[in-house]
Structure 1
Amino acid sequence: MRHWILEETNYGYIKENPIEVALLPTGATEPHNLHMPYGTDNFQVIEMASRACEAAYQQGAKVVMLPNLPYGTETNMMEFPFAMNLNPSTILQIFKDLIQSLEKSGIKKLLILNGHGGNGFKPAIRELSAQTNIQLFLCDWMKGLLKEKRSELFEKPGDHADEVETSLGLAFFSNFIAHDSETGKLTADEGSMAAHRFDAVEKGYITISRPWHKLTTNSGAGNPHAASAEKGEKLMQFFVDEISSFLVQLANSDIDETFPFE
């Protein structure tokens, strides 16, 4: 039995083993080019969260992984079928309700592990931090941790269903990755993206919510064809090492008057 996964453990264990840190994975249900499953973000973040919690548990940390939230914000991708949207205001309310449940369960520390690039949770964390005694932490793996490994592991990293995500898919849910029956190649297109009209947006100091049906052909952003399972395995191990190390440190840290600072 995997006691670090709430869905698999039981009240008998929880009653005798108080939890210090809860981890909430969040994903999305959306198209990923022509070759990856709609559940890609969910498969990735659940794999990452469960492995990180296991590694932390094996080091003595009292952690538990909550069930994944399988929907995210898709307002810019809704021209594609079955991009299943939850507005940011809806997600905020879901977080409020879950945090209230965690407070009643005695949880003092919560890490939200975000697996969907369209989710912008920082404003929600700021708002909720003023309304709860739970210490809230956020990890966006594709915006933070990935930066350290993009150029080292990948030839042409992109934004969505690219070499990075496809490598993770080949490593951990390859049975859902579509290949041409004759050539064996991915059924994906090249993941080309339309150029921005405005230089300021291209440079990054002006941002927009990108209409995905105008930006891409089949929702893929970034060429996936150089992907490999080996790259995905190396990336996952890096993620697991970093996240589990933080979980152990967080679980062992007392909440005193200077927390989370020295």
Structure 2
Amino acid sequence: MRPYILAETNWKQIQETRFDLAILPWGATEAHNFHLPYATDVIEADFIAAESARLAWEKGAKIIVLPTIPFGVNTGQTDILLDINLYPSTQLAILGDIIEVLNRQGIHKLLILNSHGGNDFRWMLRELGVRYPDMLLATCSWFAVLDKSKYFDEPKGDHADEMETSLLLHFRPDLVTPLDQTGDGTARQWTIQGMREGWAWAERRWSEVTADTGIGNPKKATAEKGKRYFEDVTEKISGLLVELAAADRSKLYE
């Protein structure tokens, strides 16, 4: 029983505990090429949140990890079988309910640990921050924390790529099919220059961009690469958890 994981604790154990920070991992349920499970983003969120919290807890941070939300924004994948979509407005409603509970019970800091590229919580936290001015609301995406090029041979992918495949080989190799059976994750590029350069944006229609639902070649993935990346990213995130838990709401700027 890990006291910083809400799903594993009980009321007797935690009712006298004062928590300074709640962590809400948020994933997605979607196809990940031919070789990774639909729950890839959820599994990554579970492992990374738990290990980051363990490291922070051992440094004295009073934190609690809430259960991972398994569905994310998949509006560009409506024709891919069983990719489960939550609209951003639905996410806003869910977040609002959770924050209401935390605020009422005296836990005034929340970090959303995002595990899915289609999720964007910043605008939601702007709105909810006005409703709950006593709350410190933050978000980070674990996949944006480190420079992938220092860990992987093909760092340009962003879905079922070498990084995600390496992590799943480390976390749950039983759920990864042989890499010689997977697609190569080739993605078609925008014909519109501003989109190609990244300073303009429109949602990608996934089935028109990729034939195997992956973006990025996974074939050089190894469990060893995943382990190294996992250790470094959780160490980095744990530092954020420690700082957030200790932060004085009235002294956030210098």
TM-score bracket, shorter-length normalisation: over 0.9
For 1:18 and 1:52, locate their aligned partners in 2 and report how far apart those are by CA, in whole Å. 19
For 1:153 and 1:113, locate their aligned partners in 2 and report how far apart those are by CA, in whole Å. 21
2:141 is the alignment partner of 1:134: no
5+ unaligned residues in a row in structure 1: which ranges? 180-184
Instruction: Report deviation, 1:186.
Output: 3.8
1:135-190 superposed Cα distances (whole Å, 9 cap, x missing partner): 00111122x303x2x111111120100001001010111110011xxxxx442111
Instruction: Report deviation, 1:98.
Output: 0.6
Instruction: Report deviation, 1:122.
Output: 1.1
In the other structure, the counterpart of 1:205 is 199
In the other structure, the counterpart of 1:85 is 85
Residue 35 of structure 2 aligns with an amino acid whose one-letter code is H
Contact 1:26–1:114 at 8 Å: present in 2 too? yes
Q: TM-score w.r.t. structure 1 length?
A: 0.94
Over aligned residue pairs, what C-alpha RMSD do you find? 1.1
In the other structure, the counterpart of 1:215 is 209
Instruction: Report deviation, 1:236.
Output: 0.8
Equivalent residue runs for 1:171-250 within 5 Å: 171-179=170-178, 185-250=179-244
In the other structure, the counterpart of 2:152 is 154
For 1:121 and 1:261, locate their aligned partners in 2 and report how far apart those are by CA, in whole Å. 22
In the other structure, the counterpart of 1:19 is 19
1:101-129 superposed Cα distances (whole Å, 9 cap, x missing partner): 11122101111000000111111111111
For 1:3 and 1:199, locate their aligned partners in 2 and report how far apart those are by CA, in whole Å. 50
In the other structure, the counterpart of 2:8 is 8
For 1:134 and 1:123, locate their aligned partners in 2 and report how far apart those are by CA, in whole Å. 15
Tell me the number of residue pairs that the alignment of Structure 1 and Structure 2 aligns: 252
5+ unaligned residues in a row in structure 2: which ranges? none
2:101 is the alignment partner of 1:76: no
Contact 1:35–1:186 at 8 Å: present in 2 too? no
Helix, strand or coil for the counterpart of 1:151?
helix
Structure 1, 187-196 or 207-216: larger mean CA deviation: 187-196
Residue 9 of structure 1 aligns with an amino acid whose one-letter code is T
Q: TM-score w.r.t. structure 2 length?
A: 0.96
1:204-254 superposed Cα distances (whole Å, 9 cap, x missing partner): 111110000000002001100010111111111111111111111221222
For 2:247 and 2:142, locate their aligned partners in 1 and report how far apart those are by CA, in whole Å. 23
In the other structure, the counterpart of 1:261 is 253
For 1:107 and 1:47, locate their aligned partners in 2 and report how far apart those are by CA, in whole Å. 23
2:156 is the alignment partner of 1:163: no
For 1:59 and 1:153, locate their aligned partners in 2 and report how far apart those are by CA, in whole Å. 27
